[in-house]
Structure 1
């Protein structure tokens, strides 16, 4: 503290040596006055004796403090908390206590040996890790090969399905071509038969004879080729229309209504259609029949109609 504090204490009448000790112990004027007041009955020698005894007691207490830690589970002695924490992590032990026994520091030889042991342990650990890495790499390679094979198998399956699908598509296209050719042949045959019947009817009309009856069966006859299947089996019909502007040949699905046929003919000729007349057998289809289909009106597989 500053000299002024000591001077003020001396001016107050306190013993200089005792005042110096008070200032040293407390560090300020107010604290020094309180200390001097508490120790007013003690001589300077008594105070010094007490200080010496306190220092001796503290030294003994410090000597009795813990110098090491001991694991109660295995009895291993450790220098400090860090070493105890490391031991607990490695061994799983949890019970530790303090010990006043001091562990002597390692000699240079012991340090070298311990360092060598650590190096050997580290090398062994690295060797084990290296072997484990090889095992892991081999397992990963096997997994990768398995995935690659599974992927290739999936690709092969997809390829086979695509090939089957493509073959089925080609087979269907081929069958569709065959069916189309059959339909064309059937139409040609129906047209020939229609022309033959028309010719015979016209001859009969000129000769004043009754027209020949329509054939009851659809099969080959001596008069010429016929369709190879019954009218109910056809999906389309071919109709020749006699219009004021000329003949028109059209093909319709058998479920087409006569109204739709009339609309198609009107678009073709530019004139509204009021009715259709079938020459043989003689029959007129006016607008009362327009909601019926060509199949219902028995205009399959072909027919000849006069447009009015």
Structure 2
């Protein structure tokens, strides 16, 4: 048995099919096992614990029956016929195979006939006196070569299908990877945009804070200057004048106020519209008429990063009038911008 198994394995047969063949044939030899393997080609290997030897059970074997077995079967058939009264034909006593009446193929046993019925759909069979001759050595070699060719073809088809499936899976994996990378890139772009917007807001807030500090510094300077002027006037015995310098300037131009039709009217607030020379959305604000032109520049610098308080210049559109850094300490009232004006910043 061990030699038969090793021989079959060396011929390239699957180990599970070799075990099945040896157990099903009752270890009757190499040729019986090879016949079983070739006859059951394409069938799934069953659970070997449920496989019984063909030498047991119903009494039918994969090999021709000996004389004693034939005589026992014949006696059984005669006894059944005697009870039923049916005649016994020679074909009943000498049946050695099963024949498919639809296609004419002959099978050695019922298992092969059932397998043929499942594959072809044929259901008309009869017993035959024709004996299925065992394969010759040349036929076995040829059958083995055909079997190996079929197995190689099946492996090639399976390998091709697996390669195609692997290619499709790889394409899906790459697409999923690209989609994931796109999502990551979009998230990164959004995060970068958020950071840029936050930096811009922080810069504007810093500019506003700086403008407020500068305005406070200017106010402190004016307060100190006024305090120093009062102290000096007290030391020199001169009268203290609390009115701001802008008051005299406002009183010095009664003609201009009269020409505008609002003589003697004091505007406490001034509404400004400021446009950038390079274009864009205008900025509007309302300031005290006593606010200086520097405070206007600080307001504009807090709104856009393209404006520097120390270098910006203003031009009044109508009537046409230019203001320089020397005018930054003058109030809006002194500059004649009340009650409203349009300025162009450059």
Q: TM tier, shorter chain? A: 0.3 to 0.5
Q: Provide the TM-score with structure 1 as the length reference.
A: 0.42
Q: Provide the TM-score with structure 2 as the length reference.
A: 0.38
The higher radius of gyration belongs to: 1
